[in-house]
Structure 1
Amino acid sequence: MAERKLSPGSALRLIVVPVGFLQTNCFIVQSGRQAMIIDPGDDIKDIENHLAGLKPEFILLTHSHYDHIGAAGELRKICSCPLYCSAGCSAAIQNPALNFSYISGRGDIALAAADRVLKDGEIFMFAGLEIEARATPGHTPDSMSFILDHAVFTGDLLFHESVGRTDFPGGNSTHLQNSIYYKIFSLPANTVIYPGHGTETSVAHEKNHNPFISQK
């Protein structure tokens, strides 16, 4: 995929790599040779090819579903970098019954626990810039969104003119609506939204055009 700016005016670069049969968006954010990886769900070789010449600092997971974590174990070893996610996500990635890999048809996934467990509102750094982790439950109880330089990575919480499913075990439509309204729509209107599947969008666009948001 073509490299682009993370957001208008950003010095950070972004590569989007759709992976696996569900075409999950794996994101590689880079600054010079520094990189971070978000949701490496599958296709380890494809992700590796896009990491040529880069030094990953860490891996972020938005939530624990198998299509977002499938290549994380291998990447962790290959890149010798830590994995960050919420406490609930850290527990679920260790258990195929909780990350639903047992029904994927692609083999069970049981990763080691996260190297760093992130809390709601926690700030950490990448390339001299702050990343904020926000708990955004709804699609899963362990979902987190990551805010960086006028962009937000929402996993399967929110998509272009759609929202994430809540019919999986642990899903909750009320929590999902509240997460979108209070945690995402509270961001500036020009914030770029990078979802777990499909094309990017913006806070302004989803506020005005998403038919699945009950709170306006």
Structure 2
Amino acid sequence: MSIQPWFPTFVYKAPLLARTRDRNRFNRELLAESLQIRDHDADGRAWSAKSYPGGFTSYGSMSRLHKFSSTFMELEKRIDRHVARFARHLDYDLTDRELVMTDCWVNIMPTSVAHGSHIHPLSTISGTYYVQTPRGCSAIKFEDPRLQAFMAQPPRRPDAKPHNKPHVAYAAETGHVVLFESWLRHEVPPNTTVSERISISFNYNWF
């Protein structure tokens, strides 16, 4: 008998920088700037009040942070290496093409704030870099992209193998980057901690 996996879905996770000391230094800079952006981005706070209740995101106001901030430019350069590694694993043909960061924005999730299920249209690779992750804060949760096509299937056993479950969660870890193909539906459940969960999201595209 032969059973083989086909059409797999991949999620990439790794420390942004190899050395903990370097990650801590860089995170301090990103944390300070992320909080400054929230304090000064009145348009972002207004947009968040309507579209991101209880939290703050610069998505609707300042979504190209890598184009005007030297700190975020440095983040882009460091993420570029991880995206290139992920693209090689995915066997993307990038001959005469280049994956470039098109969008980059801050997300701040206080207690009880959630990020509903969504995808990133018109992008190739998307991801998140974690700046501040209180112990026990919510993970990023991915949905099996075949879920809408499932028909007449029995429920999975509680001890089902991870690759047979309809959802998988990746813990949010400070200093780590998570990458996935932009069509993969994902969400962030409510933050149950008393501290703010702070991340930076981004998209890459080749056209």
Structure number with greater Rg is: 2
Q: What TM-score, normalized by structure 1, do the two folds share?
A: 0.25
Q: Which structure dedicates a bigger proportion of its chain to helix?
A: 2
Q: TM-score, normalised by structure 2?
A: 0.25
Higher relative contact order (CA 8 A, sep 6+): 2
